[in-house]
Structure 1
Amino acid sequence: MEILNKVAYSFMLVLVIALMSSTTTRPVSGLFIGKTYVYIINNLGPNIKFNYHCKSADDDLGERSLNFNEEWHWKFQTNWFDTTLFWCNMWWTDTNGRQVSGSTDIYKAKRDKTKCYRRCRYYVKADGIYRYNSVMYRLDLLYTWPQ
């Protein structure tokens, strides 16, 4: 009977370790949470196309563009240590024909998980990029375009 208890204990330990390292779900406070969604919305103005190339250490999301008021999103699972990071190179041409470009961390798990939870919305505007803060119900300036 003691051998059976040791086998059962070992099996449970392996199962817990496997669940903790899974890329599809992760336990937090005894609960399993799902994917995080990041949305990018072009609010630059009519006839202004927003271009960007986002990636993480593991995923290259490719070069993309959005017309005014269009949005695009992707989803992912944050890692157990909340070090998940996506950054984007971005560029657009203003109404005066001036090229505006920059690069920023668009999603940092430790920074963003408490501000936007699992649905993070980023609004691209002429003065910068804003993240919707779902705790305070407001837009927070996250990034200002270089002059």
Structure 2
Amino acid sequence: MKNALTIFILIFLLSLYIFFMIMMQPEYLFQGLEYDVRVVNGFTSNSSLPLVIWCSSKDQNLGGRALQEGDDFSWSLKANFWGTAHFLCTIKWDQKRKSFDAFWVHRDSHRCGPLRRCFWLVKEDGFYFSNDETNWKKEFAWI
């Protein structure tokens, strides 16, 4: 009888721990899942100046590209065991330069949607986010 009570208490405590992790830190449920990130040059009049982008994480340098109007820079990533997947991009256009978190698992595990797709549209007036490429929300301006 004493062994059964001990096992019951251990199972109960483990269940409480799992419940707490799910409720308080849901991003841990998404560890190991793959996410797709895409940054698109949404300028309507680039003239001859491309949008230049460089992206990297602590563990991986994705390099850079010059994006003409409508071009994109895309990559896939797998959220790591510790839930610290984080990609920073720097974008330059003419004299403007902006660095931003293109992917951060703590922020994006939910907002990238069930298909785990994270889209950025860079326009003359700022940076827009979407998880379906239809509904865009302005996240921030260049300045």
Aligned partners of 2:71 and 2:92: how far apart in 1? 16
State how 1:52-91 maps to structure 2 within 5 Å.
52-91=53-92
Aligned partners of 1:34 and 1:83: how far apart in 2? 13
Output the amino acid matched with 1:100: K
The superposition leaves residues 78-119 of structure 1 with CA deviations (integer Å, 9 ceiling, x where unpaired) of: 1123221100111012xxxxx111111111111111111311
Identity of counterpart residues, as a percentage?
28
Higher strand share: 1
Higher helix share: 2
State how 1:1-147 maps to structure 2 within 5 Å.
28=29, 34-46=33-45, 47=47, 48-93=49-94, 99-117=95-113, 118-134=116-132, 138-146=135-143
8 Å contact kept, 2:32–2:81: no
Aligned partners of 2:44 and 2:79: how far apart in 1? 32
TM-score (norm 2): 0.69
8 Å contact kept, 2:65–2:73: no
Output the amino acid matched with 1:39: R
Offset, 1:126: 0.9
Output the amino acid matched with 1:127: D
TM-score (norm 1): 0.67
* Unaligned ranges ≥5, structure 2: 1-27
Offset, 1:71: 1.5
Aligned partners of 2:85 and 2:33: how far apart in 1? 14
8 Å contact kept, 1:104–1:143: no
Partner of 2:24: none
Count of residue pairs the alignment pairs up: 111
Offset, 1:38: 0.4
Per the alignment, in what secondary structure is the counterpart of residue 107 of structure 2? Answer: helix
